Structure formats: structure tokens, C-alpha cells
């Protein structure tokens, strides 16, 4: 984004935006910057970056205790590889068009997720704004933390590569009075539809309906996973006989046996089971 900043700043000035700017210096810095902005009186926050930056900023907004998130208005100028959250809200990736769109003043309140999980023997929690993935998705998230993908094509190659090393573990999913136990290839909990560069693993997600979209795939062969790849993108994943979709307000996932089930949220690896999901209804004010 750095080399594009002079153009973005020029467009901000041409379109009459009043603003101050801060640049992130390291991973996790965005959450600290949003605290600083709020303490200085800022109530309109625009992130510039991809889904990772978006995740950090929203987590920072809901983790701080200085200003109620209901008093803050948030948006994103997408500058990432996947831009999945922006796709859900119809936000253009062209920066000039995006800034012009903001002048229309449209707003939308979106649900937010809070996930509690285990990491290094401790119970931790994290807010997320898009999709959380478990089982193979968590496994991929952990691998990509160690060896990041350079672009979308490289990401897909890594997904196929790591599929050979993945071993399904047995887990229990408890959601709104129902319990399912099985070996799961993947478990996804979504607020929005798109993740991983345009995949629709939770095609039934609605950002403001007060419910998580839950998708889980039971035991599938590795060949079957590869053959079903088009369904991941075209929104027909739930028509497969081994894949189920539900909606729920509270979800808990526990591993059965010695092997934990891994967790990522918004593309960021977090930890492992036991994992509990809680929904904050229409908690984020989004400037469209």
C-alpha cells in the first residue's frame, strides 16, 4: 500500500475528507493505533489494508474500554489479497471509487463474533468480523503463520499441498441445543459469506441477522475434497451429502480424544479446542 499512499492522500484531499493518518509498524500494532485514535476523539475510523488489518482493527475496537463501540463508525479501504469482508459489503477495491462511495453516507450495523479458545495452556479470547475456521482450516491457518502465502495462487497451492499432511480428528459440536460428534474435515462459523479469497464456505451467512452460519463437513477423502473445489466458490457447498449448514447463536466445539481441533479467525491462527463462540448482535457500525 505504501507506494499508493500519495495518490490516496491526494484523493482524500480532493474529495474534502478531514483526516489524520497513522501507519502500522508491526503485527498487532493496528489494535494499539485504534485505541490512540479513540482517545484523541476520533469516532470515524477507516482502515487501509486487507482482511488481516481489518481483523486487527475490529478486535482492537471491541477490546478497548475507553469508548463504547456503538459510538464508533468503521470502514475499510481494501488493499489486500482476498478482500473478502469488502466483497460481502459491496466495497470497491479501486481506492478512488471507494472514497467516492463513502460520500453517499450509507450505514449498516453488522454482527460481531467473540471466540474463546486455548493457546499455550491459557484461555484467551478474540473478536472477529468475518469467518472462523476449524479442523483443516485451523491447520492451514497454523501452517500459513509459519510459511505465509505470497498471493492467491500461492495460497491455493499451499492448501492443496498441506492437504496431504492433514489427519482428521474427532470433535463434538454443540449448537443451540443440538450435538454432533464425528470426524470433521472442516468446521466454519461465519458472519459474512466470503473467506480465503472468495470461497463461500458459509453461503447462508447474513451479517446482521443475529445468528452465526455454521457449516461442517464430515469425513471426506482427499480426492473428494479436491473434486469439490468449485463448490467452495460457487455457493453450492451445502448441496453435498456430507456437508451440513445450520444457523445458531451459541456454538461450542470440543475435541474428542487426545488431538485438539485447531482454530483460525479472519485468516489469523488463534489456537485450539475447547472453543466457544458468542455473538454480539449488530455491534459494529459499518460505513458502506
- Domain stop point among 60, 87, 110: 110
**Range of weakest confidence among 45-54, 223-232, 268-277:** 223-232
- Pair 239, 271 in one domain: yes
- CA-to-CA separations, 106 to 17, 42, 75, 112, 139, in angstroms, rounded: 16, 19, 11, 19, 38
- What is the spatial distance between Cα 156 and Cα 235, in angstroms, rounded to a whole number? 18
- What is the spatial distance between Cα 116 and Cα 274, in angstroms, rounded to a whole number? 8
Residues spanned by the domain of 206: 112-281
Q: Enter the pTM of the model.
A: 0.93
- What is the spatial distance between Cα 251 and Cα 57, in angstroms, rounded to a whole number? 24
pLDDT digits (tens, 9 = 90+) for 118-162: 999 999 999 999 999 999 999 998 887 776 666 667 767 777 777
- What is the spatial distance between Cα 92 and Cα 280, in angstroms, rounded to a whole number? 26
**For residue 180, what is the domain's CATH number?**
2.60.200.40
In this prediction, residue 220 has a pLDDT band, given cuts at 50, 70 and 90, of confident
- Pair 123, 251 in one domain: yes
- Pair 45, 81 in one domain: yes
- Pair 243, 277 in one domain: yes
- Pair 57, 186 in one domain: no
- CA-to-CA separations, 103 to 90, 110, 193, 247, 288, in angstroms, rounded: 15, 20, 26, 35, 9
Q: Which pLDDT score, from 0 to 100, does residue 183 have?
A: 95
pLDDT digits (tens, 9 = 90+) for 161-201: 777 778 888 999 999 989 999 999 999 999 999 998 899 99
The predicted model gives 68-92 an average pLDDT of 94
- Pair 95, 121 in one domain: no
Number of domains in the chain: 2
Whether 272 is in a domain gets the answer yes
DSSP H or E stretch at residue 52? helix 51-63
**For residue 31, what is the domain's CATH number?**
3.40.50.10330
Amino acid at each position: 500500500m505504501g507506494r499508493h499512499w500519495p495518490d490516496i492522500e491526494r484523493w482524500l484531499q480532493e474529495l474534502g475528507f478531514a483526516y489524520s493518518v497513522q501507519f502500522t509498524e508491526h503485527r498487532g500494532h493496528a489494535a494499539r493505533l485504534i485505541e490512540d485514535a479513540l482517545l484523541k476523539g476520533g469516532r470515524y475510523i477507516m482502515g487501509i489494508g486487507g482482511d488481516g488489518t481489518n481483523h486487527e482493527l475490529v478486535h482492537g475496537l471491541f477490546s478497548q474500554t475507553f469508548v463504547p463501540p456503538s459510538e464508533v463508525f468503521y470502514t475499510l479501504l481494501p488493499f489486500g489479497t482476498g478482500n473478502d469482508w469488502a466483497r460481502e459489503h459491496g466495497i470497491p477495491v479501486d481506492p478512488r471509487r471507494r472514497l467516492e462511495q463513502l460520500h453517499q453516507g450509507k450505514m449498516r450495523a453488522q454482527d460481531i463474533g467473540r471466540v474463546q479458545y486455548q493457546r499455550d495452556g491459557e484461555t484467551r479470547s478474540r473478536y472477529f468480523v468475518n469467518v472462523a475456521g476449524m479442523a483443516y482450516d485451523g491447520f492451514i491457518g497454523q501452517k500459513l503463520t509459519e510459511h505465509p502465502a505470497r498471493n492467491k495462487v500461492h495460497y491455493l497451492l499451499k492448501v492443496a499441498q498441506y492437504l496431504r499432511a492433514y489427519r482428521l480428528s474427532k470433535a463434538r459440536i454443540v449448537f443451540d441445543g443440538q450435538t454432533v460428534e464425528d470426524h470433521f474435515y472442516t468446521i466454519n462459523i461465519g458472519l459474512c459469506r466470503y473467506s480465503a479469497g472468495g470461497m463461500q464456505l458459509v453461503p447462508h451467512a447474513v451479517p446482521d441477522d443475529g445468528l452465526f452460519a455454521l457449516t461442517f463437513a464430515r469425513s471426506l477423502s482427499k480426492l473428494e475434497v479436491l473434486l469439490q473445489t468449485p463448490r467452495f466458490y460457487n455457493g453450492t457447498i451445502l448441496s453435498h451429502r456430507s456437508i451440513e449448514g445450520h444457523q445458531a447463536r451459541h456454538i461450542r466445539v470440543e475435541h474428542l480424544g487426545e488431538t485438539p481441533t485447531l482454530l483460525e479467525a479472519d485468516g489469523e491462527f488463534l489456537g485450539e479446542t475447547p472453543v466457544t463462540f458468542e455473538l454480539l448482535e449488530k455491534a459494529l457500525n459499518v460505513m458502506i
